[in-house]
Amino acid sequence: MPEKLLTIFTAPKPFTDPHIVTIQHNALLSWSRLDQRVEVFLMGNEKGIAEAAKEYHMRHIHQVRCNQLGTPLISSMFELARQQSNSPFLAIINTDVLLFPDILTAVSAVQKQFDKFVLAGQRWDIEINERILWNTNFYSEMKKRIRQEGIQHTPMGSDYFIFPRVCYADIPDFAIGRAGWDNWMIFKARWENWPLIDATRDITVAHQQHDYRHLPDGQPHYRLPESRVNLQLAGGDHTIFTLFDANYQLEGGVIHPTHRSWRKFWREIEILPLTKWHSHALAKCFYYLFHPFKTYQSFRKWLREVH
């Protein structure tokens, strides 16, 4: 049995809604065939997780801590992934995402150049409503389908983060599946001066589209109270970073600094208090200076609360 290179961990949604069941099985199938050097941890006690772990020969870790609403906490997931794995690299990935072998190629290329780093990237959104069956051409056929049907998502966040196990040793109690935590992961990389590498060109991830029926009242995750808590734990609006804030790119296995532009220049000035001086107070001043309309909105909201 080869030594593990990468441990993927995730907290699946309950296997109850028929469409969620379909896309999670598709994702786990794509993960299970990657490489013998990859192990996968399915975390949580939601319905169907234990059975899925058994079906795909993955490890079920049920003792993840949750918030008062029963949503798994990312801090607990990271802690468990470290405790119960020995691989040098970890990856937290959403369970509706299809993966391809290029994820391992990218990790191998980057580890030769950096001891600490964070790999993240944009996804391709695609509609898949049927259970996909395994065949020897699975990955090539899916990539062809993505090129034909997929739409590249904006660089607002990331559905995956890959990093050496020494990174992200301290994480707030974010609720998984709610807004804000992925933006904080990007912010944290820049705060710690870890190379934040946009791997969009080298790592293909396909997000299978779904609605929000599985969430309370069918609301999008970013409207839920847990998302507001996540934002508070992250530190506020000034810590909402995106893939645009990556300082490196991976292309063809080669790492190079991100392309320069005036937009990029001014963004780096805006976040300078965080990336260089580690001052949240000064960062908030810069944020309001660069975003006057949001400053105005915040001021009006404060006035309404006061009166």
For 133-178, the pLDDT digits (tens) are 999 999 999 999 999 999 999 998 799 999 999 999 999 999 998 9
Half-sphere exposure of 166 (CA within 13 A, CB side): 6
Give the other-Cβ count within 10 Å of 120's Cβ: 26
Q: Which of 185, 178, 187 is nearest to 163 (CA)?
A: 185
Q: What percent of the chain has pLDDT over 90?
A: 87
- Looking up residue 69, the CATH number of its domain turns out to be 3.90.550.10
Residue that terminates a domain, selected from 220, 249, 278:
249
CA distance to 180, 189, 213, 217, 226, per residue, from 68 (Å)? 18, 29, 20, 18, 10
The total domain count for the chain is 2
34 and 169, same domain (yes or no): yes
269 and 144, same domain (yes or no): no
Q: Is residue 148 part of a domain?
A: yes
For 22-74, the pLDDT digits (tens) are 999 999 999 999 999 999 999 999 999 999 999 999 999 999 999 999 999 99
131 and 159, same domain (yes or no): yes
222 and 282, same domain (yes or no): no
**pLDDT value at residue 1:** 64
Q: Is residue 255 part of a domain?
A: no
Q: Is residue 256 part of a domain?
A: no
Q: Is residue 254 part of a domain?
A: no
182 and 114, same domain (yes or no): yes
- pLDDT higher than 90, residue 276: yes
What is the extent of the structural domain holding 283? 264-306
229 and 202, same domain (yes or no): yes
97 and 190, same domain (yes or no): yes
221 and 270, same domain (yes or no): no
281 and 186, same domain (yes or no): no
Q: Is residue 121 part of a domain?
A: yes
Residue that terminates a domain, selected from 221, 249, 277:
249
**pLDDT value at residue 19:** 96
| β-bridge partners, 189 | none
Q: Is residue 257 part of a domain?
A: no
| Six token digits for residue 97 | 């995402």
269 and 245, same domain (yes or no): no
242 and 278, same domain (yes or no): no
Q: Is residue 188 part of a domain?
A: yes
152 and 293, same domain (yes or no): no
Residue that terminates a domain, selected from 249, 272, 289:
249
Q: Is residue 258 part of a domain?
A: no
